[in-house]
């Protein structure tokens, strides 16, 4: 995306008065006057399909490194630290992959509503944000945002989700400091929306529909004004790859167009993508599981050559596309 285009997009999103966008603004004033209807494209036509920059990947990705970790759900990074979530664990690593701390009883203290499952996590301002829930018999309840001290990994506070949002599962969470938002994604059919909460108060701010929605969303992370999603949408039994997607949510938008960002065809063995995060030195980290046969979300034995499921972080070097 050229600097001129970038300025135009941001001008339209924030105030609709950017000098470079004067003519475009005049043509989309209806969209600006009714914020609930914006979101597909900032181009005069308003059609996402006319916005090539929005539809194409923003980066190219080269698999640079990988290392095993102790959790199968999520990954987050801040400064020199890397945090990993298992379904019932939180761990803190240094940048070289050395395990520094683990909380293997993260639900024991501080919860008013019972929970037993953590999905993908995020870290911001030295706090771990986790989407937690009670997952029983294939159904989730008691969804909430849980905030842990990033150093001690002890629970600090929780915010309940808004049941009227329609969300029925939480597979991941992302902090977006620039907009003061926390986003939750869902692995189920309600994953066709992302659910937004206030970073400070935990208040529900609304949901954004994905056009078109990836299936089996497992993680979400914020980076450079966009949200990146992982989807376990490739069948490992058929050696199909999973995918990374990207959306940019315009201010006030209730829907956003999904771009395919990266096909994960370069993993050691096709398996199950989980959470993702971005590092300050320009890498995308992806939590990836391989080796176990998963049927309807449950491990049922192992692929040839494996006697356990490998949880690893895949580190991709990112290069902005011209």
One residue of 176, 232, 261, 312 binding Ca ion per CB under 5 A: 232
The minimum distance between CB 235 and Ca ion, in angstroms, equals 6
Encoded tokens for 135: 């997952």
Give residues 71-90 in contact with Ca ion (rule: CB under 5 A): 73
Contact 274, 218 (CB under 8 A): yes
Rounded CA-CA distance 250/2 in Å is 18
Rounded CA-CA distance 141/159 in Å is 14
Of 241, 280, 117, nearest to 187 (Cα)? 117
Residue number with CB closer to Ca ion (38 or 220):
220
**C-alpha pair distances (Å), 235 with each of 136, 232, 238:** 24, 8, 5
Give residues 144-173 in contact with Ca ion (rule: CB under 5 A): 171
Q: Determine if 242 is a binding residue for Ca ion (CB under 5 A).
A: yes
**Alpha-carbon torsion angle 220, 245, 66, 270, nearest 10:** 110
CA atoms within 13 A on the CB side of 88: 9
Give residues 26-55 in contact with Ca ion (rule: CB under 5 A): none
Name residue 76's beta-bridge partners: 83
The site string for Ca ion over 115-134 (x = CB under 5 A, - otherwise) reads: ----x---------------
Of 167, 173, 246, 170, nearest to 214 (Cα)? 246
The site string for Ca ion over 247-286 (x = CB under 5 A, - otherwise) reads: -------------------------x-x------------
Stretch that binds Ca ion, among 51-59, 66-74, 153-161, 248-256 (CB under 5 A): 66-74
Contact 127, 78 (CB under 8 A): no
Contact 202, 163 (CB under 8 A): no
One residue of 85, 103, 186, 218 binding Ca ion per CB under 5 A: 218
Stretch that binds Ca ion, among 13-21, 38-46, 236-244, 303-311 (CB under 5 A): 236-244
Encoded tokens for 88: 């019932």
Residue number with CB closer to Ca ion (22 or 295):
295
The minimum distance between CB 144 and Ca ion, in angstroms, equals 16
Residue number with CB closer to Ca ion (175 or 220):
220
One residue of 31, 39, 86, 234 binding Ca ion per CB under 5 A: 234
The minimum distance between CB 184 and Ca ion, in angstroms, equals 12
Residue number with CB closer to Ca ion (8 or 264):
264
The minimum distance between CB 304 and Ca ion, in angstroms, equals 17
SS3 291: coil
Contact 290, 274 (CB under 8 A): no
Residue number with CB closer to Ca ion (21 or 182):
182
The minimum distance between CB 161 and Ca ion, in angstroms, equals 17
Residue number with CB closer to Ca ion (58 or 130):
130
Query: Helices (DSSP H) in the chain: which residue ranges?
Result: 3-14, 22-27, 29-33, 52-55
13: left (phi over 0), alpha (psi -120 to 50) or beta: alpha
Stretch that binds Ca ion, among 26-34, 94-102, 122-130, 239-247 (CB under 5 A): 239-247
Of 184, 264, 170, nearest to 220 (Cα)? 184
Residues that bind Ca ion (CB under 5 A): 73, 119, 171, 218, 232, 234, 236, 242, 272, 274
């Amino acid at each position: 995306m050229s600097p001129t285009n970038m300025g135009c997009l941001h001008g339209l999103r924030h105030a609709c008065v950017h000098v470079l966008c004067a003519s475009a603004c005049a043509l989309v004033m209806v969209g600006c006057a009714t914020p609930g209807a914006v979101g597909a494209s900032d181009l005069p036509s308003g059609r996402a399909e006319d916005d090539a920059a929005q539809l194409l990947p923003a980066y190219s990705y080269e698999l640079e490194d990988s290392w095993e970790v102790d959790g199968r759900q999520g990954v987050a990074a801040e400064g020199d630290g890397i945090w990993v979530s298992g379904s019932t664990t939180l761990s803190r690593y240094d940048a070289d992959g050395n395990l520094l701390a683990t909380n293997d009883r993260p639900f024991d203290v501080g919860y008013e509503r019972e929970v037993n499952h953590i999905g993908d996590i995020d870290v911001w301002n030295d706090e771990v944000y986790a989407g937690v829930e009670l997952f029983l018999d294939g159904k989730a309840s008691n969804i909430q945002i849980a905030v842990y001290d990033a150093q001690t990994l002890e629970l600090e506070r929780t915010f309940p989700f808004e049941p009227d949002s329609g969300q029925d599962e939480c597979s991941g969470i992302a902090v977006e400091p620039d907009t003061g938002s926390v986003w939750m994604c869902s692995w189920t059919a309600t994953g066709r929306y992302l659910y937004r909460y206030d970073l400070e108060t935990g208040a529900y701010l609304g949901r954004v529909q994905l056009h078109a929605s990836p299936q089996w969303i497992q993680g979400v992370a914020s980076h450079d004004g966009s949200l990146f999603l992982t989807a376990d949408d490739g069948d490992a039994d058929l050696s199909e790859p999973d995918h990374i997607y990207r959306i940019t949510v315009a201010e006030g938008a209730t829907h956003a167009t999904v771009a395919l960002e990266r096909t994960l065809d370069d993993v050691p063995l096709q398996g199950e993508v989980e959470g993702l995060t971005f590092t300050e030195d320009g890498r995308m980290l992806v939590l990836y599981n391989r080796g176990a046969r998963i049927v309807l979300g449950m491990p049922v034995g192992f692929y040839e050559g494996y006697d356990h499921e490998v949880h690893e972080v895949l580190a991709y070097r990112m290069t902005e596309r011209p």
